[in-house]
Amino acid sequence: MRKLIWILATMALLAAVCISCNRTPRLGRSSIKRVISAMTLEEKVRMVVGTSTDRALPPDMAPGIVNRESYPGGPSTHLTQNQVPGAAGDGYAIPRLGIPSIVYADGPAGLRINPRRDGDTATYYCTAFPTATLLAASWDPAIVEKAAEAIGDEVREYGVDILLAPGMNIQRNPLTGRNFEYFSEDPFLTGVTAAAYVRGVQSQGVGTSVKHFAVNNQERYRNGIDAVVDESVMRELYLKAFEKVVKEARPWTVMSSYNKINGTYASENKWLLTDVLRGEWGFDGFVMTDWWGADDPVAQMTAGNNLLMPGTPNQIEELIQAVKDGRLDEKVLDRNIEDILRVILKTPKMQGFVPSNRPDLEAHDAIAREIATEGMVLLRNDGVLPLEKPCRIALFGNYSYDTQPGGSGSGYVNRKRKVNLSEGLVSAGFNLDENLSGTYSNYISEEKSKLPEEFFWYIPTAAEMTLSDKAIAKAAGENDIAVLTIGRMSGEGGDRSAGEGDYLLSELERSQLGRICAAFHRAGKKVVTVLNIGAPIELTGWDELPDALLLAWLPGQQAGNAITDILTGKVNPSGKLPVSFAKRYADIPSSKNFGVSEGELNRVIYAEGLNVGHRYFATSGTEAEYPFGYGLSYTDFKLSGFSYDNGRFRVSVRNSGSRPGREVVQIYGPGHALAGFKKTALLDPGKTEDEEIVIDNPVPGDYQCGGMTITIQ
């Protein structure tokens, strides 16, 4: 009898549990709407506010790097312990409904998480890939996708669900502090490159967040600046790339930008986030704010900004209160949560994926090197390159010995190592002038010992070392060639200066470059200059020109080896400029309205309209020093047979030189808008490749390619 009672009681309990299971829906098993209907109001509000509610402001910023007015006034309490230490934020979990907390982490040049954890002997380094502008300079979506696949692999294997990348704002002005995180001045090249990046990352089963949507083209006062821009210009220039990415690569999420657009914060802008992004483009993911962006949670929810990151306590209270007093319809919360849950369903966390915490960093290191060579741009070469061995090199410039992989801010990567140019050259078997190398190395370590430690928000760089005429003359006598690296650092939270030492060479850099060129040229020897920069500097009016000029950008952790691969001809340079290098800063139309427009308190007027980059330089009569799309090779190419038939452009490319190489066919349409491009395979000397470039609905007008013009009626 007792046994029977026991069995009956157990069956009754199981029945009750099943009924309650049936009653309590679970994400992945029940419809999203049923899951939402089971949430309490507080749970609903917490689903639209990140859990890093106590996340402090970043560590005190180093002077000179960050314009503190540009940083948000988030709560300065302690950092909550993220699931993945160093990640940017976490989403809210509701275990009873089967909703996991998903993890968000930066950044565009590779995953950024803490490399070490208290009480854990394991390390969590990530690969610092070449920065975005170099990726765009490759004009090769396939290589961009390959880099992004490796980045996405690290995102997944370190337990992150959504990567806060790519950054894809238009490089409206060379002084923008985050240009290195962005692709190009041109919306078409930006869109193609960003779409390849999103496809690559998401092919690894993790999400992306295309940012910063939109018209976020400077760092100064970024949290409050009002970008005043004509709608037609916005659509043609500043939204165009986002539209292409959303339609072609379907990013899981979009990150709205801090700034206002024509008076309304982007994250509170219904026209932008609902009418355009969803209504016109069909975006089906969710929108998150930038960290502590804007300040009206109700307006953000209503506009279609689904998620407030990193989340603060007062946002939770404010939204609950707003629903209670009728200022916010709970249905708006339901709608925003529905988009979020649809994305959560795709995440590794939801799929029960167990991260290994051991991605193949060696393989990714090799990929970083390969890709870095694809985006470097050869600007000048009188034949001195490629370097031949044996060759004794007088290596000048701090950045030759402290070569920078990337910039500072959220786009920084905690990499295990970096390769300086000095190391790359030695690895390739070149002899360096030991005196010079020793002097530079000692100076740099001595100077850096006086500066704060490097961390994501601040990269210490020593002031350029001064060389005596005697030391330069000695080097000219004892070496075969001079290699000089000029570098620039920039980062999130602040813009660059148009003055000396930033956009302009410093007096010391100018005189040193001149004296090195003079001494080596007098000795019948050559000078090669390498640019380790994230965005244009002035390259004109130098007292004496080096014999070769290689733009290496901020090329990731394999910088030194990749630059050496190009200098030695192991890789034939094939990069083309994704941004124009003006003859002088004042030639750039946006230079008259950058930062804050004259007489304005916090508005920047985009008075230049479409006159950004090559669209201006190619049509205004004001020439660029080095134009968009420009880049030399160690071989030559001949283009012929430019034709058009029913939406397809055709052109033949022949390698008419003596070395294998790759060319980029570029087609410009009316207004010198980039209409299409294609990078050839590696062509052997004498080989020809016929390229076909499809351009949807080409507007009537003249189309140019390699000096040939055809007119489409």
**Which sequence positions are flagged as catalytic?**
290
- Using an 8 Å Cβ cutoff, are 399 and 532 in contact? yes
What's the closest the beta carbon of residue 106 comes to ligand GLC, in angstroms? 5
Tell me: does residue 183 bind ligand GLC (CB under 6 A).
no
Closer to ligand GLC by CB, 212 or 415: give it.
212
At position 408, the amino acid (one-letter code) is S
> Angle at CA 627, nearest 5°, toward 556 and 235?
85
> Angle at CA 178, nearest 5°, toward 172 and 180?
90
> Angle at CA 604, nearest 5°, toward 602 and 605?
135
Tell me: does residue 197 bind ligand GLC (CB under 6 A).
no
For strand 226-228 and strand 260-261, is the pairing parallel, antiparallel, or unpaired?
Answer: parallel
Residue 632 phi, psi dihedral angles, 5° rounding: -95, 170
Tell me: does residue 163 bind ligand GLC (CB under 6 A).
no
What would the x/- binding string for ligand GLC be over residues 236 to 275, using CB under 6 A? ----------------------------------------
- Using an 8 Å Cβ cutoff, are 691 and 684 in contact? no
Among positions 93, 136, 164, 387, the unique one binding ligand GLC when judged by CB under 6 A: 164
Tell me: does residue 90 bind ligand GLC (CB under 6 A).
no
Tell me: does residue 219 bind ligand GLC (CB under 6 A).
no
Q: At what angle do helices 434-448 and 469-478 cross, to 10 degrees?
A: 140
Closer to ligand GLC by CB, 103 or 705: give it.
103
Tell me: does residue 290 bind ligand GLC (CB under 6 A).
yes
Of residues 418 through 477, those in contact with ligand GLC by CB under 6 A are: none
Please name the residues in contact with 35: beta carbons below 8 A apart, sequence gap of 6 or more. 25, 26, 27, 97, 98, 99, 341
Among positions 55, 82, 106, 149, the unique one binding ligand GLC when judged by CB under 6 A: 106
Torsion, Cα of 515, 517, 519, 524 (10° steps): -170
What's the closest the beta carbon of residue 128 comes to ligand GLC, in angstroms? 16
What DSSP string runs through 95-142? GGGTBPPPEEE--TTS----SEETTEEEE--B--PPPHHHHHHTT-HH
What would the x/- binding string for ligand GLC be over residues 389 to 428, using CB under 6 A? ---------------------x------------------
Total residues interacting with ligand GLC, rule: CB under 6 A: 7
Residue 166 buriedness (CB in 10 A; 0-12 / 13-18 / 19+): buried
What's the closest the beta carbon of residue 452 comes to ligand GLC, in angstroms? 20
What's the closest the beta carbon of residue 372 comes to ligand GLC, in angstroms? 22
Tell me: does residue 291 bind ligand GLC (CB under 6 A).
yes
CB atoms within 10 A of CB 36: 23
Tell me: does residue 211 bind ligand GLC (CB under 6 A).
yes
What's the closest the beta carbon of residue 323 comes to ligand GLC, in angstroms? 27
Tell me: does residue 88 bind ligand GLC (CB under 6 A).
yes
Closer to ligand GLC by CB, 147 or 164: give it.
164
Q: What are the structure tokens assigned to 299, written together?
A: 């307006």
Closer to ligand GLC by CB, 139 or 258: give it.
258
Q: Measured between alpha carbons, how far is 215 from 258 in angstroms, rounded to an integer?
A: 10
CB atoms within 10 A of CB 681: 11
Binding site for ligand GLC (CB under 6 A): 88, 106, 164, 211, 290-291, 410
